[in-house]
């Protein structure tokens, strides 16, 4: 039950039929607790919302300047955080389901029920939207903590392997630049950066001597180093990332022609994120110093991906990488990326 001492709920009714608007006003006056404002068109609603606040919107789907489910999309753009209750003359369950899928909290059929039904539905819609916002805020906080942890793990690996310090960060910067050049969404880029920052996590199981030893490793030692992709994937496999991080780590040394490891995957079996990581990883590695050789430079790195384009490396990724390097050069390794 609503607290009778609470301030009135500010309800914006968007309805072009004056008769229906008067009826809603009369019904809610009987229940009390509402401050009703009225707009006849979507344009009127937009103007009203510029100067006023509402707690909830009661929305007709048939307006002079908007019709059908697109009306919901238009209102959601005007007021992304407001709970919306559809107010329709159609007693059609499919319309209600479609409305909820489009972000509405509930729907009412005109002429059905009294003021108490409208009141309960509106109050429930506000509660649902509040819980939804709280859930999203909580998920965002958890994601930030998770990403900070990823960053900490990445830095820990750099301390353990000072000869390649910064490698994962630079790979992440280049990978994000490539993904952005390819038109990927910010959410997907965030996942790509997360996977890139810990793509060599499995090296924590590799003896430090193998990582820092100058000269060529024995076949046995090199086999241990190669195991890092599978080991890293196993470490994070149980973490509920919103992106395929474990798969990125496992596949970042796979090659289109099946010559990679650990599974010898080919073509479409390799996820897009891993295809980008493969190119970013080899470009950074070749252009940077390693214990077993001096830096070979960016020209050599670009020659590697160009010469093996479509055999080892994805052509679209290679093209995007070449575009990024042509425009930014090695400065791309110093980008801020996505801000963590």
Let me know if 216 is a catalytic residue: no
Helix H, strand E, coil C: the string for 214-279 is CCCCCHHHHHHHHCHHHHHHHHHCCCCCCCCHHHHHHHCCCCCECCCCCCCCEHHHCCHHHHHHHH
Do the Cβ atoms of 291 and 283 come closer than 8 Å? no
Alpha-carbon gap, residue 300 to 303, rounded angstroms? 5
106-109 sheet: strands from edge to edge: 34-39, 9-14, 56-60, 84-88, 106-109
**281: left (phi > 0), else alpha (psi -120 to 50), else beta?**
alpha
Q: Which of 46, 110, 129, 203 is catalytic?
A: 203
Question: Closest Cα to residue 280, out of 333, 203, 238?
Answer: 333
**Strand partners of residue 60:** 87
Helix axes 298-307, 272-287, angle to 10 degrees: 140
Cα angle at 186 between 183 and 192, to 5 degrees? 90
**Strand partners of residue 85:** 58, 106
Q: Which positions are annotated as active-site residues?
A: 203
């Amino acid at each position: 039950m609503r607290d009778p001492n609470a301030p009135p709920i500010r309800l914006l009714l968007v309805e072009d039929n004056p008769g229906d608007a008067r009826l809603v006003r009369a019904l809610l006056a009987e229940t009390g607790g509402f401050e009703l404002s009225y707009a006849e068109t979507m344009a009127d609603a937009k103007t009203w919302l510029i100067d006023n606040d509402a707690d909830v919107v009661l929305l007709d789907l048939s307006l002079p300047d908007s019709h059908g489910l697109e009306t919901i999309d238009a209102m959601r753009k005007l007021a992304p955080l407001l709970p919306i209750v559809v107010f329709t003359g159609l007693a059609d369950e499919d319309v209600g389901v479609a409305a909820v899928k489009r972000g509405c909290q509930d729907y009412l059929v005109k002429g059905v029920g009294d003021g108490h039904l409208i009141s309960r539905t509106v109050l429930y819609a506000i509660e649902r939207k509040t819980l939804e916002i709280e859930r999203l805020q909580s998920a965002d906080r958890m994601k930030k903590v998770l990403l900070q942890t990823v960053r900490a793990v990445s830095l820990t690996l750099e301390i353990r392997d000072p000869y390649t310090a910064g490698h994962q960060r630079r790979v992440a910067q280049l990978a994000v630049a490539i993904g952005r050049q390819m038109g990927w969404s910010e959410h997907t880029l965030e996942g790509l950066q997360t996977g890139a920052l810990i793509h060599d996590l499995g090296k924590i199981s590799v003896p430090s001597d193998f990582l820092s030893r100058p000269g060529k490793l024995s076949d046995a030692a090199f086999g241990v180093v190669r195991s890092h992709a599978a080991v890293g994937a196993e470490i994070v496999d149980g973490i509920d990332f919103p992106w395929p991080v474990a798969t990125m780590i496992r596949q970042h040394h796979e090659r289109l022609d099946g010559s990679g490891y650990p599974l010898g995957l080919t073509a479409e079996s390799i996820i897009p994120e891993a295809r980008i990581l493969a190119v970013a990883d080899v470009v950074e590695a070749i252009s940077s110093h390693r214990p077993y050789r001096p830096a070979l430079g960016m020209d050599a790195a670009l020659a590697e991906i160009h010469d093996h384009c479509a055999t080892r490396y994805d052509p679209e990724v290679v093209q995007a990488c070449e575009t990024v390097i042509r425009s930014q050069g090695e400065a791309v390794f110093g980008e801020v990326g996505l801000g963590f």
